Chain A
């Protein structure tokens, strides 16, 4: 599903190259649950953003379902990313001005899905996540765990093949964190590929493979 060949990322600033990622070679198959670990500044998030097509690598090749992402125009990238990839963040990143229902609806609006179908999909998901009663609340009226639930619901509403989670439990207490991890596990069992960045050994265990990053290198 995902193939990275010699991916590097650096920032150039007056003749000094600051490397974030160096020569990353990685292959991820459909249905895997990968945990990326490493100290702060190791390049974990950058790797996740590059895989998620929100950022581009400075060097190297990236194939997504055998399509060369590194050669794609921005419009194609956006299309690919919006139909195949869902994101979950440590800070939830919900739109504060929209209600739970509207937050869930927004990705579907951008996919140009018809109103009736859209309403059905949102209602299904609200039901599945037990949030029907909270659909008209705004994000700041919810607890952190509930916000993260909404964020995950929003990430999977377009039925993506790949979910990228950047420390999804980082801001939650352990009970809520566990709940979220269980949910991700369940999604993985249903066939969604998941890549998560985490600091917690315990959470990493939910995955079936652990990649350790240090100073931009993958530790073997």
Chain B
């Protein structure tokens, strides 16, 4: 987060003409962190002035370079691809997609097979419905309703992979975050809940938890904000895998394997939302032949 903050500050600093992103010391990439970094960079590229300022050095770690080349980031930063064949298992297995609004159709054919053909239909529909709702949320609620250029801002970024014993899907948007959209869509309800539940503070991780329940008992605006329950379906109803939700400063993690539940705030906001599901491949009812 420090790197992203510094990058954004420098990008809009008129005294700085060139920003070089040094990847040489990067040894490992976490999917959520990479997704957020990619999203923030793409946002900066949308500005013609800022985009021209950005440059980079090649990574020294081969796998890191393969991944950054695989997702097209090095090319965007003006570094021609050096690796002819990307072969690292933990790179080629990642599907990377981004889109504006609800353009999920484009990824239906390239999703990992287990998500479209696994015999546990309840689980795969639950996961993809959660993913669709995360995209719907980024289109419907996540960005400020602003004039001019608003459509460009309704963007989401997605990583998905099926490798070894696990399927992972991560989706990111740089909108208001779940706490922000909760307050804008359910202002009165949130105020009432905060007033009646003593000790419940307006912390982002508390707002994430509240987002999963608010609206259930409301008698009006019943059509709003139902999607967040879909996001939890895999871990709540199917009771498999784990979910990681990062929204603004809030973190909410639930892992069925060891019954872990984490809910806390970080010091720095990610200014958006990342949701990642990790699910054991065997839960999808996929046979050995279908594994990568």
The finding on whether chains A and B are genuine partners in a shared complex, rather than unrelated, reads: no
User: CB within 8 Å of B: which residues of A?
Assistant: none
